[in-house]
Amino acid sequence: MRSFKQLWTKKTWVGLGLGQFLSLLITSTGFSSSELAKRGIDAPTSQSFVNYVLLAFVYGITMISRRTVLKAKWYYYIPLGLVDVEANYLVVKAYQYTSITSVMLLDCWSIPCVMLLTWLFLKTKYILRKIIGVLICVAGLVAVIFSDVHAGDRAGGSNPIKGDALVIAGATLYAISNVSEEFLVKNAGRVELMAMLGLFGSIISGIQISIVERNALKSIHWTTGAALPFVGFSLAMFLFYSLVPVLLQTSGATMLNLSLLTSDMWSVVIRIFAYHEKVDWIYFLAFAAVVVGLIIYSVADEEEDIGQANVSDVAVESRKPLDEEGGSGNREIDVRRTITEGSSSST
C-alpha cells in the first residue's frame, strides 16, 4: 500500500490543476461560440484561424531563434492539421443547431475514443483503478444529462439532432488529434508541435475560409458585442493549445479528456453567477463525481509510475550479484590464462 505522500506528488497536483485550468479555457470558448451563434455569426473556421496564426507566429519565432531542427517529418503535421481544423469546425458549427450544454456533454464521446486509440497505437495500459476513475467521471456526466432532460435544456437549438451528430463527429476527430499530439509531443517536443500545427492549421483553415466562409464574413456587422467574443475565443484557444502539450506529456490524452469533463460544471457556475440562473442540485452531485473520478485516475496513474520505478530498481539490484559473480568468474579465468601462458612461455 502506497503512502499518501508518495501518491500526492508534484505530477499529480500539476495534472489536476492544469486540467482544470484547461477546462475553464474550453468553457470560455464554448460561451464565446454560443454568444456568436446568438448574434447570427456563422464562421467556425474563421474563429479558429486566428488561433493557428498565433501558434505559428509565436512558436515559429521560438524555433527560428533556437535554430532547432525538426525531429519529426514535416509532412506528419499535414494530416494532424487537417484533423484538428475539421474537429474545431464541426464542434463550433454545432452551436448553430444545439445548446451549449448538449455540445459539452456529447463532447465526452472523445474519452472512449482516446482510450481505444492509445491502447491500440501507443500501447497504453489501463489498470482497473484507472478504469474505475473513468467510469465514475462518466457517471457524473450521465447524471447531468438526466438533469438537462428534466429541465428541458437540451431541447434548445434549431436542429438538435444535427447539432449532436456534428459534436460526436468532432469529438471523434478530437480524439485522433489528441492521441497524435501525445505521440508527437513526446517524440518531437512541445515547441515544434505547436509551430507546425499552427503553420499547417493556418494554411488549411485559410483555404477552407476562402471556399466556405467568404460570404459569411462579408455579411458580418462588426460591433463591439460581436468582436469581443471573437477575440476572446481566439485568445482562450491559443492558451488552451499552448498548455495542452504540457498535460499530454505528463499525464496523457485520457487525463486531458477526463479533465475537460468538468467544463460542463464550470459552465453551470458561470450560468449561476453571470446569468443568475437556477440549476438542479444534480449538477453539484455530478461535479463531485467527476472530481472524485479524476483523483482516482490521477492517483492510480502515479501509483503505477511508482510501481514501475520500483520494479526497475529491483531488476537492477537483482542483476548486481550476477554481475559480481560473473566478474569474479572472469577474474579466475584471467588468472588461469596468465598461469597457462607463463607455463607455455617457460617451456
The answer to whether the pTM exceeds 0.75 is no
> Taking residues 304-317, what's their average pLDDT?
46
Task: Give the H or E element holding residue 189.
Answer: none
Classify residue 1: in a domain, yes or no: no
In a domain, 347, yes or no: no
For residue 182, what are the domain limits? 15-311
DSSP 223-249: -HHHHHHHHHHHHHHHHHHHHHHHHHH
HSE of 208 in the Cβ direction (CA atoms, 13 Å)? 22
Residue 322 forms part of a structural domain = no
How far is it, in rounded angstroms, from Cα 264 to Cα 176?
22
Mean pLDDT of 107-121: 82
Is residue 327 in some structural domain? no
Q: Which of 68-82, 183-197, 198-212, 241-255 has the lowest mean pLDDT?
A: 241-255
* pLDDT value for 4: 44
Residues counted in the chain: 347
pLDDT band of 275, cuts 50, 70, 90: low
Percent of the chain with pLDDT over 70: 73
Q: Which of 91, 47, 19 has its CA nearest to residue 246?
A: 19
Q: Is the Cβ–Cβ distance between 139 and 289 less than 8 Å?
A: yes
Q: What is the pLDDT of residues 207-231, one digit of tens each?
A: 999 998 988 888 888 888 888 999 9
In a domain, 321, yes or no: no
- pLDDT per residue as tens digits for the range 79-103: 999 999 999 999 888 888 877 667 7
Q: Confidence band (pLDDT; 50, 70, 90) for 263? A: confident
Could you tell me if residue 91 is inside a domain? yes
Query: How many structural domains are present in the chain?
Result: 1
Q: How far apart are CA 19 and CA 294, in angstroms?
A: 10
Contact 110, 266 (CB under 8 A): no
Q: Is residue 135 part of a domain?
A: yes
Query: Does 96 map to a domain?
Result: yes
Mean residue pLDDT of the chain comes to 77
Q: Lowest-pLDDT range, 85-94, 252-261, 268-277?
A: 268-277
Q: Which three cell numbers stand for residue 290?
A: 467527476
